[in-house]
Structure 1
Amino acid sequence: MVSTLSNLKNRKKLPSPATLRQDLLASLVVFLVALPLCVGVAVASGVPAELGLVTGIVGGLVVGCLPGSSLQVSGPAAGLTVLVLEAVHEFGAGALGALVLAAGLLQIVLGALHFGRLFRAVSVAVVQGMLAGIGLVLLFGQLYTMAEVRQPRSGVDKIMGIPDLIATVATDADALVPFLVGVGTIAVLVLWRKLPAGARAVPAPLVAVALATAVCALAGLPVATVEVRGIAEAVRPPGADAFDALGSVAALGTVLAFALIASAESLFSAAAVDRMHDGPRTAYDKELMAQGIGNTVCGMLGSLPMTAVIVRSSANVQAGARTKAARVLHGMWLLLFAALLPAAVGVIPLAALAGVLVHAGCKLVPVRQIVPLWRQHRGEAVVLAVTAVAIIATNMFEGVLAGLLLAVVKSAWETSHIQLDVRESADGRLTVTAGGNATFLRLPRMLETLEALPEDRPVELDLSRLRHLDHACRTVLEAWAEQRGATVEMVTKV
């Protein structure tokens, strides 16, 4: 009897045929969106194209089955492209797996220690600045790839070299032809949104890449295509020597950057996806651990790091996905494609993928939000701009740290408001009443007011209205009071 009731309960939990049908359709849409992005991110990261598919497969089949968020989709992200490319250049492609594995383990530990919710406390301006910096570096870097010209290493050099790139494209037919293929790809991506809803059912990246591939093949255009090695040859689990690189400070900084940026992007994506549907909300600590497990598996396979990606996740929700089955099935379609049709990747022009990533880089820059943000919260706009510029001028990790530091300083400055009120009594006695929060950041203003008081008048300094008085302020005020001698009376309840 108990067994029968248990079976009945389990049957009630099974999704209905309508739900399964909706998940199946959604998985196909997400697969078509993910395919060109997985390949494009891998190529832009300086690794074999197949590794992008491997990360997408792990994001679907592994992370897709784990608890956390039900509808967001994980895979290789354009937001980590710049950092991965830097890591491959500095440590070599063989060490990438070890770096990603270590980052995944760190994410698991952070999730187990309930750090998932803390990522929600990161300043939105820092995140927007991070994405803007990544987007600009990605955008300018992929312009060189569109022209089949070797791109400079640093973000500043990428931007400063644009005039020379324009001259090369204008004078060299070998650069002009692939560049026009990339421009055409971007044009399709931009114009696709203006078509009727029925036509937009097919994902724009897939259409843009397919059209560019067909035009290049039919016209016989001399453009470079993606190199295909096959998953079996591309997957290289890290050896013992790969882990030796983790002993350097630079490598540990890269691991920390992988873990923090991937975690932040995933959890911010989860918050955005939660606003798109009325289903179960994200369990942030579990989602962080799920991302860590996924990156650990990717590291074992020597593949790219993963994050939850808002583009694929929103496509999943908008396609009507109901359960985790949609994202798991999308991983299965990627696996079948990589196993049965790997040669199909080899005909894709590099310029077309670069065009997709240029478009993706533009979307990472919050152009529409900058002007309203400047009008309403100029401090936040400054944090955004400084973070973006710092990422371009240095690297991802240092740029984000600079943004976080500025955000903390800004918050400390804004919360340390202090009001000083000077009143004179009938007997000539001056009373200085301080209110608000007295921190070391406001010491210059406080001392300027106090030192401007007449020295031949008795003064009473009333600190009873202060909500906070830090040690630095107390020490300096006591020293100032001592210098004024017996004419000063300090009243404090802080």
Structure 2
Amino acid sequence: MVHKHIRYYLSHLRNDIPAGIVVFLVALPLCLGIALASGAPLFAGIITGIVGGVVVAWASGSQLSVSGPAAGLTVIVLNAIDKLGSFQSFLLSVVIAGGLQLVLGFLQAGVIGAYFPSAVIKGMLAAIGLILILKQIPHAVGYDADFEGNEAYSQPDGHTTFSELAYSLEAISPGAVIVSVVAIGIMLLWETSLFKRNAVLGLIPGPLVAVLWGVAYNLLTMKFAPAYAIAQEHLVKLPEIQGVQGFFQQFTFPDFTQWANPEVYTVAVTIAIIASLETLLSLEAADKIDPLKRVAPTNRELKAQGLGNLISGAIGGLPMTAVIVRSSANVNAGGRTKVACFTHGVLLLLSVMFITEYLNLIPLACLAAILLLTGYKLAKPKLFKEMYAKGASQIVPFVVTIVAILATDLLKGIAVGMVVGLYYVIRTNFHAAITLTRHGNNYLLRLHKDVSFLNKALLRRYLDSVEENGYVIIDASRAQFIDQDILETIYDFVAAASDDNITVELKNLDGKPKKTKKPASAKKQLTLDGEHYETTRKAAA
């Protein structure tokens, strides 16, 4: 069995190693940006990314999901550090949150992930794609007001995503525009069949070539055309660390003396719940875009995230989740197994130990170009057309989820989308549970599968539509469950039917056919809903 798994991973190395490099390039500035926005040391974001790649990748059951610091937790982390008084006290909360996630995994809480409607998950993916496009355009033109990885519509300074976009177009850096436009062109060219079929070029990921282009451009322009060079503030900013010893010196440990502080546990529970929800959402979304259509075990994912947060908190990292932006970049770069995620973690580790000075030459415009293309693939116009073609029950929750996420944040937007999706589920079941077919003065009222008290109003409306001298068959042969309220409504109708000279025939309502009164006139065949019933109708008085 072990050899089989090894062969499986080795067979996909050609795809996974290049994909891991791309995910590393995307994750690096995101880890730093989220740490900066969280009010934590920059190195904390890197630690989280390393643990997510090196540890969680193998503990998880997902082949494509990538874990790391999440933008959705920045406000919680910022407020928690302020409330607890120190980063070390906050780390204790992260460790406890990891333990709680492990418990949730063993309690099979991952089943919650199965209850997210497909339209809502696709809406979340499209919203993330649009956010990437809107948020990365400023970075692509050289206006870096927001931190990398910021997904919020409203900003602390009172600006919004669209106002930031407007400002960025007034502060364009020619060098950044040239780098990002050419980088996008390179990646599009690399996706053509001509390049994919080439034995050498097919092994090199397009995004890596785009990054090398950006570094080369900036080095050349700084020397020969300074007016077109990219300013220092628009390059990657990694903290300088000297070797392995310098790496370990960056670790920060939890303050275990705070174990009796109730605020520590309040923060831990908050992180555990929100991180678990974001993880389950991202996992569902990653399964949707998996070209091999694999389904990851949700309970195992909660355990993996719990282990990751235990380790991350213990050595000075931020809380982590499965992150859809990095997972999407992984899929779009051609990743096929968890080796890609592991590769990105190893590269993060090696980069901060040995090559920070070279990574700090990378323009943010290159990385913005990678994310712009990822965003477009998540929110393709084709997806909107497909959802529209499926009808209101799919397009409405899809669009509402997108708008709600863009206007608020990921979790609030998903909650709004879930409410709308639930409405359509109830509405569909509501109408599908009871059907009424009429032919002349003959009626077939059929109960399907589960008929609950929610269907009582619809049942009454159907029964009220039966005219005098009618003949009604109430067929429950397809029903698996009938609520007591429904039965009472039917029996009340049967009791009052003789007042309007209505004949009622009950089929399988209590397990056996029954008629309320003997018909007295000639038999007439009634064909309703594809089945034949021999019925008899009393002549009108």
TM class, shorter-length: 0.7 to 0.9
Matched letter for residue 450 of structure 1: L
- The two structures have a TM-score, normalised by structure 1, of 0.74
Contact 1:269–1:310 at 8 Å: present in 2 too?
Answer: yes
Contact 1:130–1:400 at 8 Å: present in 2 too?
Answer: yes
**2:515 maps to which residue?**
none
The C-alpha deviation readout for 1:285-310, integer Å capped at 9, x for no partner, is 44442233123322333235142735
2:145 to 142, 146, 150: 150
**1:419 maps to which residue?**
435
Instruction: Say what the alpha-carbon RMSD is for the aligned residues.
Output: 4.5
**1:3 maps to which residue?**
none
2:28 to 20, 27, 39: 39
Matched letter for residue 305 of structure 1: M
Task: Give the direction of change, closer, same or farther, for the CA distance of 1:130–1:26 in structure 2 (3 Å limit).
Answer: closer
The C-alpha deviation readout for 1:9-61, integer Å capped at 9, x for no partner, is 99x88968xx9987876664344223211113224435366545433422343
Matched, 1:134 2:134: no
Cα distance between partner residues in 2 of 1:170 and 1:398: 30
Q: CA deviation at 1:478?
A: 5.9
**1:388 maps to which residue?**
402
Matched letter for residue 312 of structure 1: N
2:383 to 369, 387, 395: 369
Q: CA deviation at 1:339?
A: 0.7
SS at match of 1:462: strand
Task: Give the direction of change, closer, same or farther, for the CA distance of 1:103–1:344 in structure 2 (3 Å limit).
Answer: farther
1:355 to 361, 369, 373: 369
Task: Give the direction of change, closer, same or farther, for the CA distance of 1:207–1:412 in structure 2 (3 Å limit).
Answer: same
SS at match of 2:372: helix
Matched, 1:446 2:446: no
Matched letter for residue 74 of structure 1: V
Contact 1:388–1:399 at 8 Å: present in 2 too?
Answer: yes
Cα distance between partner residues in 1 of 2:252 and 2:182: 35
1:213-228 aligned within 5 A? 213-220=215-222, 221=229, 222-224=231-233, 225-228=235-238
The C-alpha deviation readout for 1:348-383, integer Å capped at 9, x for no partner, is 233333333333333332532331232135412222
Contact 1:57–1:334 at 8 Å: present in 2 too?
Answer: yes
Cα distance between partner residues in 2 of 1:233 and 1:339: 11
Task: Give the direction of change, closer, same or farther, for the CA distance of 1:327–1:45 in structure 2 (3 Å limit).
Answer: closer
Matched, 1:294 2:291: no
1:295-334 aligned within 5 A? 295-300=309-314, 301-303=316-318, 305-307=320-322, 309=327, 311-312=329-330, 328=342, 331-334=345-348
SS at match of 1:303: coil
SS at match of 2:195: coil
Matched, 1:75 2:67: yes
1:254-273 aligned within 5 A? 255-266=272-283, 269=286
The C-alpha deviation readout for 1:270-327, integer Å capped at 9, x for no partner, is 68659279xxx96654444223312332233323514273543675756xx7xx7776
Matched, 1:343 2:335: no
Task: Give the direction of change, closer, same or farther, for the CA distance of 1:39–1:328 in structure 2 (3 Å limit).
Answer: closer
Matched letter for residue 360 of structure 2: G
1:55 to 18, 23, 48: 48
Cα distance between partner residues in 2 of 1:73 and 1:20: 15
- Structure 1 segments unaligned to the other structure (5+ residues): 1-8
Q: Find the structure with the greater CA-based Rg.
A: 2
Q: CA deviation at 1:447?
A: 3.1
Contact 1:44–1:85 at 8 Å: present in 2 too?
Answer: no
Matched letter for residue 266 of structure 1: L
2:211 to 209, 212, 224: 209
Cα distance between partner residues in 1 of 2:112 and 2:482: 27
Cα distance between partner residues in 1 of 2:266 and 2:6: 50
Q: CA deviation at 1:92?
A: 5.2
Task: Give the direction of change, closer, same or farther, for the CA distance of 1:217–1:326 in structure 2 (3 Å limit).
Answer: closer
Matched letter for residue 311 of structure 2: V
2:18 to 29, 50, 55: 29
Cα distance between partner residues in 2 of 1:181 and 1:265: 31
Contact 2:49–2:345 at 8 Å: present in 1 too?
Answer: yes
SS at match of 1:125: helix
Contact 1:216–1:223 at 8 Å: present in 2 too?
Answer: no
Cα distance between partner residues in 2 of 1:200 and 1:211: 17
**1:4 maps to which residue?**
none
- Structure 2 segments unaligned to the other structure (5+ residues): 223-228, 242-246, 512-541
Task: Give the direction of change, closer, same or farther, for the CA distance of 1:336–1:46 in structure 2 (3 Å limit).
Answer: closer
1:188 to 170, 186, 189: 186
Q: CA deviation at 1:431?
A: 6.1
Cα distance between partner residues in 1 of 2:462 and 2:293: 53
Matched letter for residue 211 of structure 2: V
2:415 to 401, 410, 414: 401
Contact 1:125–1:381 at 8 Å: present in 2 too?
Answer: yes
SS at match of 1:403: helix
Matched letter for residue 462 of structure 1: I
Task: Give the direction of change, closer, same or farther, for the CA distance of 1:109–1:393 in structure 2 (3 Å limit).
Answer: same
Task: Give the direction of change, closer, same or farther, for the CA distance of 1:299–1:132 in structure 2 (3 Å limit).
Answer: farther
Matched letter for residue 138 of structure 1: L
- The two structures have a TM-score, normalised by structure 2, of 0.69
1:165-180 aligned within 5 A? 165=164, 168-172=167-171, 177-180=175-178
SS at match of 1:196: helix
Matched letter for residue 322 of structure 2: T
Answer with 214-223 or 337-346: which moved more. Answer: 214-223
SS at match of 2:445: strand
Answer with 334-343 or 366-375: which moved more. Answer: 366-375
Contact 1:76–1:305 at 8 Å: present in 2 too?
Answer: yes
